[in-house]
Amino acid sequence: MKTITHQRRDELIDALRRGTVPAQNLDLLAVGLHPFLATMDAELQSVKTGAARFKALRGEYGAGKTFFSRWLAERARHLGFATSEVQISETETPLHRLETVYRRLMERLGTPDTPTGALQNILDSWFYTLEEDVLAAGNITPDNQSQLLQHANTLMEQRLATVTQSAPMFAIAIRSYHIARATGDAALADGIAAWLAGQPNVPADVKRRAGVKGDIDHFGAMNFLQGLLTVLRDSGHAGLYLVLDEVETIQRARSDVRDKSLNALRQLIDDIDSGRFPGLYLLITGTAAFYDSPQGAQRLEPLTQRIHVDFQTEPRFDNPRAVQIRLAAFDFDRLCEIGRKVREIYTLYAVAPDRITTLCPDSYIAELARAVAGKLGGKVGVVPRIFLKKLVADILDRIDQFPDFDPHLHYKLTIQETELTTAERHAAAAASVDDIELT
């Protein structure tokens, strides 16, 4: 068992108690991901050297797509990547409007030191690197601030030369941000950073003083992504690991919106293949229906051609190097294994670790897993979230706090409809004929 701090153990357990995927230390909970490990690490290393990668992940609800994407994000951060996760949504983050995707990307942008909203820290780190490079040349002294600022801006424009050709506003805004920072105008710097992050409603005065116009649009967003990758690489980061989660929501959109979204995804893949985004690792996640149905990727033939993989063979022969990979649904053994892992993590800083080990042995974890699966129609694939929530909040917490609590005597599993997600609710077995919904 990997040693973790009390705080990180609590963060992980708290997330499971709420029924959400933890943000850190996911390798402690990972089961069944070993076949992907070597390939994922090798691909991240190739991106770190300036390549770009695209990966499509498929799996049904409960297979662990979000867990996988965050597990890989954690590995990427350990390698020095900045990371971001964007939930694709019909209303808030439609894929056909890349400016909204870019805005969410920037809001969730994190580094090993700053979990979210890391843009300004990244920019400040980059300018520090530029100034250090200027001083290393030996042409000016550190106390000559005006010349240092001027030379740093010149060096910045040289390194952004490629990006400036397609997104001149990016370089203008970056230069204005640097000057605002150097002169102590924090309000202007914050406003420019907000504009660079794609935020709407930036005051007109800020844009005027920065020398930029309008807002970042669909096409400008991808140009600005190029700029961000340049800044990340130049400031010492390995690159950007970006997740577009739940792309299957595209299928619920109007046909015209769906077509635009699929084409935007196809364009992203082509741009990655063409070398437009060096340092980018893009992972999309979706259900099998998205990849295989006529309302999903199959609707756009060029997209299907780019991401098609034959999954007719046994899952044990799946190729992790392929452009599309699949996660098998949870089975009973994997469910019990992750339950045992959670119990071990819980006991690290528990009040009564011996009681937990005694009253929640492997046999009881299997019993609870079987009972939760039974409540959800025997569909183990949709069980993990609610199973771990029940294990932590209903069993381990009570054993740890109450000396006379015995789960065999004092606990009876109940699952309310209100605590289930839509997919879990659909899987739940009907307790009587009155529970069967007729259409």
Please state, in angstroms and as integers, the Cα–Cα distance from residue 221 to each residue in 82, 171, 195, following that order.
18, 14, 11
Spatial separation of the C-alpha atoms in residues 185 and 122, rounded to whole Å: 18
Summarize pLDDT for 311-345 with one digit per residue, the tens.
Answer: 988 888 999 999 999 998 888 999 999 999 999 99
Residue whose C-alpha is closest to residue 259's, from 297, 307, 304: 297
This model's pTM is above 0.95: no
Residue with tokens 């397609």: 166
**What is the full per-residue pLDDT of the chain (439 aa) written as tens digits?**
567 889 989 999 999 999 998 888 888 899 989 999 999 999 999 999 999 999 999 998 878 899 999 999 999 999 999 999 999 998 889 999 999 999 999 999 999 888 889 999 999 988 888 888 888 877 777 777 788 888 888 888 888 887 788 788 998 999 899 889 888 999 999 999 999 999 988 999 999 999 998 999 988 899 999 999 999 998 899 999 999 999 999 998 999 999 999 999 999 999 999 999 999 999 999 999 999 999 899 999 999 999 999 998 888 899 999 999 999 888 899 999 999 999 999 999 999 999 999 999 999 999 999 999 998 888 887 889 999 999 999 999 999 999 999 999 999 999 988 888 877 887 775 454 454 444 4
Domains of the chain: 31-111+237-326 (3.40.50.300), 120-221 (no CATH), 332-429 (no CATH)
Dihedral sign for Cα atoms in the order 13, 15, 19, 23: negative
Summarize pLDDT for 193-230 with one digit per residue, the tens.
Answer: 999 999 988 999 999 999 998 999 988 899 999 999 99
